[in-house]
Amino acid sequence: MIDSLLDEYGVIGGDHDQHFLVDDNFLNQIVDSAELTENDTVLEIGAGIGNLTEKIAETVHKLYAVELDPNLCDILIERFADYDNVEIIEGDILDIELPEFNKVVANLPYSISSHITFKLLKHEFELGILMYQYEFARRMVSPKNSKDYSRLTVTTNFFADASIIMKVPRSAFKPAPEVKSAVVKLIPRPASFDVVDEDFFLTFVTAVFGQRRKKLRNAILNTNSKLGIANVKEVVNKLPDEYMNKRAENLEPSELAYIANQLFNFKTA
């Protein structure tokens, strides 16, 4: 049925290099993973021609389907004209004000996955079932001391529990992408460690992972233009060597938070 829809609408990849998920088995698994009910309000990002949209809309109270491509929006409007619970939003997800929703289910545009993820994590919701490029998904869940442990890992860990719940082969899409994909389950929750100032912590994490091959002492000194610590050399020398002599990739999120808290306290003292 999905292949016939692609033929009917004459869509092969749209104008923004879309790769449409056409495998009905994976579409059903994604929807099942979201545990949707008639009380849910769902945000879908990158709705395409509505393969996933249709399955979500069968159950939920309200579905906001966001799509950037105006040609695909026309298709969505036509396809879901008789659905009272589906609202098509044309626009860039990074620019629009997010509607209120309690779950987000999406096959995300891979080129802006990190920007979308950071925007979502600052919004209140209960559950996310999100498809990413596999390498990106792996970075979200990697342990410290691994090459994939990154700013993304720490930021995700600060806002939510994340787990890869399925891998999706290239053959599940039309046209087939060049990369492998994976679906991540995100469950937002309060941070498991204390952060004195959230904005400073996130700035600190971005700064030190931008210098990931340097020990934390030098990473802080090299990026202090972003951190704004007065007498930074003196401050860094007061911090524990057990942290300062390690790289950012060797420290747990809670340990990075401890250092960020100490720096912020010196900054505001």
Rounded mean pLDDT for each run of 10 residues along the chain, 269 residues in total: 55 61 96 98 96 97 97 96 98 96 95 94 96 97 96 96 97 92 97 95 97 96 94 94 97 97 87
CA distance 244 to 238: 10
Domains of the chain and CATH, by start: 2-188 (3.40.50.150), 198-268 (1.10.8)
- What's the residue count for the chain? 269
Q: 105 near 42, Cβ under 8 Å?
A: yes
Detail the residues annotated as belonging to a binding site for S-adenosyl-L-methionine: 19, 21, 46, 67, 92, 107
Angle subtended at Cα 33 by Cα 28 and Cα 36, rounded to the nearest 5 degrees: 90
Across-strand partners of 170?
A: none
Q: pLDDT value at position 187?
A: 98
* β partners of residue 86: 63
6 and 20 in contact (C-beta within 8 Å)? yes
pLDDT at site 267: 82
State which H helix or E strand residue 42 sits in.
strand 41-45
